[in-house]
Homo-oligomer: A and B are copies of this chain.
């Protein structure tokens, strides 16, 4: 890569959905001139107005098909549950050679829900930029969100190599490291590194919400003792996460089963006063943290 901005990677990019990830990607595309035209589709006029106000779109529409027409790259940036209807809708409007990608946190579901609706000659390159914050909406995005994080591509075997390279190039320009793996493996890994942590955070915050009134106000007051970190994670978009759990059911239930067994073992150690067991579990956990720091993902 040279210091000079390269030619646009794409002529027209259509972003279907413009929340935290979509709007962050739009900012990267703008910053580096990666497309000649950004077409944004969203479900409400308010979101579209916001996208225009933030300078993230060259054209906006409530009709995903309009945005996708003549696009060289279409990126689905909505919750997973919307993929199938969107793919059904935009399929007929896609031009030959167009690339369809996404940013979702589950990848087998993309292949299941999107692939059948794409015309011959359109390339599906599912992608997952593993980055985020607890904030939602177009105003919460920022171009640096992806910097130094991993983007996982899960193209099916036999996918057009050039299409994969172009999606790869886009996320590299966003500052991401790229890994390619099959969709099933992706869904297993993310079940433990992302889906289960969110599920647990949502659950414990729910447990606190259900406390007797005399305890509940104090939970907020003294949340600096650790709880507030869980509330932050549990502030993520409910629709997005509902769709993640509904679409990665098997892998999440498998990891949840393992976690529950481990939690029962810890519970038993506390009840029996087995300090050595607790100390060993806690010490091992600390070691894994060192790995995260060493991998520069802290």
**Residues of chain A at the chain B interface (Cβ within 8 Å):** 81, 105, 130-132, 134, 149-150, 152, 179, 188-190, 192-211, 215, 218-236, 238-239, 241-243, 245-246, 249, 252-253, 255-256, 258-260, 262-263, 266-267, 270-271, 273, 275, 278-279, 281-292, 295, 297-298
Contact = CB atoms under 8 A, between A and B. Distances in A.
A283 B169 CA distance: 36
A214 to B, nearest CB: 8
A89 to B, nearest CB: 21
Contact of A198 (B134, B226, B267, B298): B226
A155 to B, nearest CB: 18
Nearest to A148: B224
A255 B267 CA distance: 11
Contact of A273 (B132, B234, B249): B249
Contacts of A263: 200, 203, 256, 260
A218 B189 contact: yes
Contacts of A207: 192, 196, 255, 258-259, 262
A17 to B, nearest CB: 18
Given A220-B295, A222-B152, A229 B197 contact: yes
A198 B152 CA distance: 30
Given A256-B267, A266-B203, A279-B239, A285 B234 contact: yes
Contacts of A222: 130, 150, 152, 189-190, 193-194, 297
A205 B198 CA distance: 13
A152 B225 CA distance: 12
A223 B246 CA distance: 21
Contact of A221 (B255, B258, B297): B297
A219 B262 CA distance: 17
